[in-house]
Structure 1
């Protein structure tokens, strides 16, 4: 498997959009407010934000994705760069794909002179803490809870 910037593999926007619809059906599925294809087209850039990376298997199949963005749910003033849209195909979890994507995106952020990276998650806090991220706060309501985490780069 290999982690590559999305702009190097625009042919994988369609399969990645399908992954988004599978992972986040309430947002990207039928009747949802999101447009996975448009979001990925917007993230398909060599420079600037938003910026996406993919994990691609030896067979060319998309195994996971993650992005960097200047804004995110849970953001407070002074919090700059965000890791967003981190996802891994269900049958491929716990194989290092998510960790690899997080590390690659953090390295890219560092190369762009960012000193901190933030994220909001419901499910990946354990993975992120194992990679040196620290929990800043919990947010949410009775229906859902999220954690906001930060990584010093």
Structure 2
């Protein structure tokens, strides 16, 4: 029987240098939402037939995303590496628009906030599609899972 979902996600804290309250809140919400509903199916057939659920640990090493996939008993199933260079511009643009959004919340009109938020969501959706394509050779994810994973990738990119 298979259970293709993530039941625990951790970020490699060694790779996160700094984050503010807004970023920390985004991280908490992304992890909460991810654990509430996700679809995560590694394409590897494990020797013992293990088919989920999964615990994952995400980190960044030498400009690449590392994703360790573990069984519920913490046994390592596999680790894969994904180049992050295709995401650099998207992450940078996402940070810029998020910064504008947080500033707008404090001083802009509701219509201005809504416009910025629509642009932010559109960029986030584009990034989720890009991530789904990049993961396709290793793991199958649904759109909402990819959106939340992209948020966590952004958290891993925070630098002071």
Which TM-score applies when normalising by structure 1?
0.26
Bigger helix share? 2
Q: For CA contacts below 8 A with separation 6 or more, give which structure has more relative contact order.
A: 2
Bigger strand share? 1
Q: Larger Cα Rg: Structure 1 or Structure 2?
A: 2
Which TM-score applies when normalising by structure 2?
0.25
